[in-house]
Chain A
């Protein structure tokens, strides 16, 4: 019986091989780097040096939390409206949502910078002098702009799966539309929300291009720090920061998934 079961899942073998070799092993190597010095001897100096980066870490966390919240507040109604429209319109809206993602993120961000800059397109057009680029707000805007589709798509998938009769049932049982929304639809789309939150939060925390371009370089996010360590060749410190960031993120994702009640695969359209 056991042998048979093994045979049945033989199809997963290449993947398991792949995952061990190219996912697990590289992460172990990151761990090794984090706990060694440049000569390869065991050392805790990199981990100890991390205290210097606590403010940067906080700032990245705060900005990405705000960006994620904004994405959720903007994205949920959007996903909901799309899911409620006719099938044809749904297709078009999803297409419109995905289309900007085909332009490279770097170009999109650069384009935002060119628009919002002090002497940029917007200010020339309106003949004003808003100072936007270089503020935290601009970075949050950039994150929201670049990652909004990641929030909308999973929520849309989730909401569009909810049975249409749910509304009728709820109102038959005496729920007002607002109450239905809060007590029925919202909890049912929870798994979509959680995937959306993860998919926005993770790239926003670790981004380095957006903060470089839209933050005007006046502050650094943790992604910038890792990238700088990489460029200056301080691989061990970079690995230590990466390791800590990874552990924190994986823990928070596990905690969040607790709330999604084991619904698998709500992420993909």
Chain B
């Protein structure tokens, strides 16, 4: 049984990683091909570092992801707390349903609705150049589709925590606001952080919504990749993906080792107490 499950894991993960490894392999290709490997070279990495277009796109993508993750985390966490405190089941239900729409809705519908919305906004405020509100539109769109994920990640934590801790804090003389920040927030932090990471990842990876909403003076990486279609995807995109995936991998390993160490320390401490 154990062997069977190991084989199964290996099988699935190898299928999952074959495209990633070929991508990494071809990023070192000598030739401009993503099908035939002709020899090893760093040509595409050099190309990548010489291409300002890619760097601008990468910077834009990261900027947008960070800002929309932060914004959605702040709004979402507050919203989760507010929703938790709501008494009326009906209002609670209505708000969560509306919140979940961008998550349930296909991206293409969300994108389309956002595009039409901003077109209407431009009409109302007599803005003639979409680029003027383009960045704001992107930020709003990304924050909107990240929000439900943040709320869904924070709300269960708040539910789990219950009221007793913050009530105790209030009894001990905390204002409601400081009770939230000093008592509740640290306790729901894991949920907040996982929501933020989720939002960051989603924003980073989003193509469909940006495709509909994106202005021209703010091109993100997925949009750049998509627009490279007059000719073809060159291995420098592969090189960029390789760099991203390797750096994420290293980050994850570091955080894993550190949290592993912390867990070990905790165990030791607990052992000592015993």
Contact = CB atoms under 8 A, between A and B. Distances in A.
B117 interface: yes
Contacts of B75: 14-15, 18
Contacts of A84: 5
A26 interface: yes
B23 A12 contact: no
Contacts of B109: 30, 206, 226, 242-243, 245-246
A66 to B, nearest CB: 17
B82 A115 contact: no
B64 interface: no
Contact of B106 (A27, A203, A238, A269): A203
Contacts of A22: 114, 117, 140-141, 144
Interface string B50-66: 00000000000000000
A177 to B, nearest CB: 9
Nearest to A253: B104
Given A78-B9, A81-B9, A104 B241 contact: yes
- Band of interface residues on B: 35 or more
B212 interface: yes
B226 A88 contact: no
B133 interface: no
B98 A19 contact: yes
A106 interface: yes
A100 B246 CA distance: 11
Contact of B82 (A9, A33, A119): A9
A155 B112 CA distance: 31
B68 interface: no
B201 interface: yes
Nearest to B153: A268
Contacts of B22: 111, 114-115, 121
B87 A5 contact: yes
Interface stretch (B40-48, B167-175, B248-256): B248-256
A208 B208 CA distance: 9
A19 B99 CA distance: 7
A12 B20 contact: no
B117 A74 contact: no
Given A103-B245, A106-B222, A117-B35, A16 B95 contact: yes
Interface string B201-213: 1001101100010
A96 interface: yes
Nearest to B242: A103
Contacts of B248: 99, 102
A95 B225 contact: no
A99 B249 contact: yes
B81 A102 contact: no
Given A81-B8, A100-B20, A103-B241, A14 B78 contact: yes
A70 to B, nearest CB: 12
B149 A230 contact: no
A15 B99 contact: yes
B19 to A, nearest CB: 4
A198 B104 contact: yes
A175 to B, nearest CB: 17
A100 B12 CA distance: 13
A8 B208 CA distance: 37
Contacts of A112: 19
Contacts of B194: 268-269
B108 A9 contact: no
Contact of B35 (A14, A27, A124): A124
A145 interface: yes
B117 A15 contact: no
Interface in B72-99: 75-76, 78-79, 81-83, 85-87, 95-96, 98-99
Given A15-B75, A81-B9, 12 more contacts: A11-B78, A11-B81, A24-B98, A108-B19, A121-B36, A124-B35, A145-B15, A208-B108, A223-B108, A242-B108, A264-B159, A265-B155
28 contacts: A8-B85, A11-B79, A11-B81, A14-B78, A22-B114, A24-B98, A30-B113, A84-B5, A100-B19, A102-B201, A104-B241, A107-B233, A108-B20, A110-B34, A114-B26, A114-B34, A114-B35, A117-B35, A208-B108, A208-B208, A209-B207, A226-B112, A238-B112, A242-B109, A250-B104, A265-B153, A268-B152, A268-B153
Interface of B: 5, 8-9, 12-13, 15-20, 22-23, 26, 34-37, 75-76, 78-79, 81-83, 85-87, 95-96, 98-99, 101-102, 104-110, 112-117, 120, 140-141, 143-144, 147, 149, 151-153, 155-156, 159, 194-195, 198, 201, 204-205, 207-208, 212, 221-222, 225-226, 233, 237-238, 241, 244-245, 248-249, 252, 256, 260
Interface of A: 5, 8-16, 18-20, 22-27, 29-30, 33, 74, 77-78, 81-82, 84, 88, 91-93, 95-97, 99-108, 110-112, 114-115, 117, 119-121, 124, 145, 148, 198, 202-203, 205-206, 208-209, 223, 226-227, 230, 235, 238-239, 242-243, 245-246, 249-250, 253, 264-265, 267-269
